Chain A
Amino acid sequence: MSERVPVEAGVFTWPADEPRLLGSRCTNCDNHMFPVQDTCPRCSGGETETVELGRTGTLWTWTVQGYPPKSPPYAGDADPKTFEPYGVGYVELPGQVKVESRLTVNNPDELEIGMELELVLVPLYTNDDGAEVVTFAFAPTAKAASL
């Protein structure tokens, strides 16, 4: 198996069997943010701490990216001949924040507001060194997938 590398350091825990997104918590008002940021947009406070966000949540809203994004900035397959649509949604992590993410499901019939999801890593592209670059996505949990 070829080497795997994250799309960018500091976005999710790495390496990890069960990855988690890295966010921030405001030490003044408990507001949670993603990605990591050092000030709080809720209370304007200037002190935050880095936290691992929950790895399961529910789908708050979603769409499907149906056409190849412009590249750059997109690093995945943007060739109209081979492009595969991908799901995008906001996933509500209980007690923390809603995060924007790719979804592993791209079929509208299999996506539903409120469904349970968990964090996974998905291949994005192969870099010049031959390593597989991965980014994060949410996938239906085993429970949700069996419904």
Chain B
Amino acid sequence: MSNEDIAIVGIGMHEFGRHPGVSGMDQGVIAVRRALADAGVEWKDMQFAFGGSQAAGAADTMVSKLGLTGLQFINVMNGCATGGSALFSAYNSIKSGMFDLGIAIGFDKHERGAFRIDTKKHGLADWYGASGLALTTQFFGMKINRYMHEHGISDSTLAKVGVKAFKNGSMNPMAWRRRPLSEEEITQSAMLSYPLTQYMFCSPGEGGVALILAKASDAHKYTDTPVFLNAAVVRSRRFGSFEVMAPHLALEHGVGPTVDASKAAFEMAGIGPDDVDLAQLQDTETGAEIMHMAENGFCKDGEQEEMIALGETEIGGRFPVNTDGGCLANGEPVGASGLRQVYENVLQLRGDAGPRQVPGDPKVAYTHVYGAPGISGVNILSR
């Protein structure tokens, strides 16, 4: 793996959760200021920015608060892969040799409850929403139901993923939900979309994250603990995959965008799944984490049942997953969610994750996001 390319030299985050009276944009601004402080640089040093939110406004307007420096600022809006797309763009802006130092920003602020879907924005007709089919939660219920049928995953395993998430979240001061929950509490909460209960789902929320990137050869100017970005990949769906908000599916079955993004990222980084020490995987609900373990190449379909029973995905286990509590404990401010995963991996690789630090001096960490209308983003980091 080459460390001669791109480094993350500064990270900043605004607490995830609910923040009445603080706009999503302002949470992004606070995240930027914290990232600048972390790298020991100023806003005027930023040569470019890529930023986005789904529901909290155009990112480039934040220059009126951060400083009118004339930088190249490009808005990114790519659903759940907004953060991943901003990071991909920042990565390539430096990789191309055009810039030396810049920033990727994601923030959001959603109304309470499940996402309200504007069917037209998804290229769908009004009858789809009117008939009660435009709910992302239904997709997750149907995907894991089929997966459990095919691969023998139990209801208890669904709940155990939630127990781990809230336990990890309880050790994360930036997380939204920090109260540990028992397997029983999770199983017995309201059934939202069979077989998934209320506490098996994450909620739309609020928060902001900013990451400062630099040429790797410059990294030590800014930090003693640079973390290198070895792969940044975004992929859309191919024919035959099973995706959210799909009025029809093909009879023939193909792999989803996560499988494609994962393969491409491993190829780009020149490593394989066995080289990864920890991962943040999209856990919109607990079943998603289980399925994404296999789709990203970390196990075979069905092996999750035993891995989770043995505690292998716990902090301290063989392969820790969602060490910061994931979407389940942090909520999902869409624009910020993918960058939150990278933020956590930088902390882990720096050895700065406090009580939730993965032991054994981890060297390689992996992030994965998935969202509508069938898009995945993967990043591989190392130090």
Contacts and interface: CB of A to CB of B under 8 A. Distances in A.
Interface of A: 7-8, 11, 23, 31-35, 41-42, 60-67, 69-70, 72-76, 86, 88-90, 92, 95-102, 108, 113, 124, 135-136
Contact of A97 (B127, B190, B251): B251
A10 to B, nearest CB: 9
B149 interface: yes
Interface in B99-117: 113-114, 116-117
A121 to B, nearest CB: 11
B58 interface: no
Given A34-B247, A100-B246, A64 B191 contact: yes
Contact of B130 (A35, A96, A108, A124): A124
A88 B190 contact: no
Given A73-B126, A97-B250, A88 B142 contact: yes
A135 B127 contact: yes
B262 to A, nearest CB: 22
B249 A97 contact: yes
A43 B50 CA distance: 34
A62 B143 CA distance: 8
Given A67-B190, A97-B251, A99-B247, 12 more contacts: A7-B130, A8-B125, A33-B248, A34-B247, A34-B248, A42-B239, A62-B142, A66-B193, A73-B118, A73-B134, A99-B248, A100-B247
Given A8-B130, A113-B146, A92 B251 contact: yes
B125 to A, nearest CB: 6
B132 A76 contact: yes
A100 B135 CA distance: 12
A20 B247 CA distance: 15
Interface of B: 113-114, 116-119, 125-135, 138, 141-143, 145-146, 149, 190-196, 239, 246-251
Contacts of B250: 31, 42, 97-98
Contact of A96 (B126, B135, B142, B251): B251
B125 A35 contact: yes
Contacts of A92: 251
B131 A7 contact: yes
A56 B116 CA distance: 32
Given A64-B191, A64-B193, A102 B146 contact: no
Contacts of B141: 63-64, 88
A54 to B, nearest CB: 12
8 contacts: A61-B146, A62-B194, A63-B142, A65-B193, A67-B114, A73-B119, A90-B142, A108-B195
Contact of A73 (B113, B130, B248, B251): B130
